[in-house]
Amino acid sequence: MEHADRTSPPDGALHGASAPRRTPSQARSRERVERMLAAASALIAEGGSDALRMGEVAERAGVPIGSLYQFFPDKSAVIRALAERIQADSRACIAEALSGVRDIDGLGRAFCGLVDTYHALFLAEPAMRDIWSGMQADKALRALELADSRANAEMLVAVLKRLRPAADARQLEATALLVWQMGEATMRLAVSVDRDEGDRLVAAFKRMAIRELTEG
């Protein structure tokens, strides 16, 4: 039982955006961490991040609670690890999509493709939006999300500067960051309403964003 581990922090500790205690180096440890994160993701999908309990993560993963705390000091660290994985995958997808852009029309197609991919992921992976909710409860995790948005926006800015060299660079930076933040908000809204309305919201966002990015 979780309460038997007297060094365990409270489940609700979400005020430090704790990083994982250590990175697993051995194959067995990596496999165990994978089970822990998969269990946490499944539990978040079922009950939301607020209801996540470290004891339940350990039980679902089939590991002792002490082993869980060896890698994750609290549930904030678990949510952070899951968020960082999603962010890393997103950055790779964005970089790949934008790498082939050669003109304004190509930018529009690439951006719309990214939005559609992101929307599909939100629909297919309910844990994604609940992980985001968990991040909003913690100041440091919100800072992590903002840093990720800035990094994504910078990739978009690099393309915009190349395609629109006469445009004001600072305005491009502001536009790209705002578009990215609006896109994330659109995804969360789209999956909270029925599918038809969600699809219309996503389509409206794409029209607005493409107009702003390509026309200025």
Last residue of a domain, one of 14, 44, 75: 75
Tell me: do 187 and 124 sit in the same domain. Answer: yes
Tell me: do 62 and 92 sit in the same domain. Answer: no
What's residue 18's pLDDT? 60
Three-state SS annotation for 39-89: HHHHHHHHHCCCCCCHHHHHHHHCCCHHHHHHHCCCHHHHHHHHHHHHHHH
Residue 131 has φ and ψ, to the nearest 5°, of -65, -40
Tell me: do 55 and 91 sit in the same domain. Answer: no
CB 58, CB 40: distance < 8 Å: no
Reported confidence tier of residue 10, pLDDT bands at 50, 70, 90: very low
| Residue indicated by tokens 């992921």 | 121
Last residue of a domain, one of 49, 75, 101: 75
The residues, any chain, with a CB within 8 Å of residue 39's CB and separated by 6 or more, are 57, 58, 60, 61
Tell me: do 131 and 33 sit in the same domain. Answer: no
Tell me: do 151 and 178 sit in the same domain. Answer: yes
Tell me: do 52 and 95 sit in the same domain. Answer: no
Tell me: do 106 and 199 sit in the same domain. Answer: yes
What is the residue-averaged pLDDT of the chain?
A: 85
The Cβ of residue 99 has, within 10 Å, a number of other Cβ atoms equal to 10
Task: Count Cβ atoms within 10 A of the Cβ of residue 28 and give its class: 0-12 exposed, 13-18 middle, 19 or more buried.
Answer: exposed
Residue 127 belongs to a domain with what CATH number? 1.10.357
Residue 32 belongs to a domain with what CATH number? 1.10.10.60
Domain with 12, as residue range(s), is 2-75
What's residue 142's pLDDT? 85
Tell me: do 115 and 173 sit in the same domain. Answer: yes
3-state DSSP assignment of residue 94: helix
Tell me: do 104 and 54 sit in the same domain. Answer: no
CB 1, CB 55: distance < 8 Å: yes
Which structure tokens are listed for 109?
């197609």
Angstrom distance (rounded) from CA 180 to CA 209: 9
Tell me: do 184 and 114 sit in the same domain. Answer: yes
The Cβ of residue 6 has, within 10 Å, a number of other Cβ atoms equal to 5
Domains identified in the chain, total number = 2
pLDDT digits (tens, 9 = 90+) for 14-63: 444 565 555 655 677 789 999 999 999 999 988 888 889 999 999 999 99
Q: Is the pLDDT of residue 158 over 90?
A: yes
Tell me: do 58 and 88 sit in the same domain. Answer: no
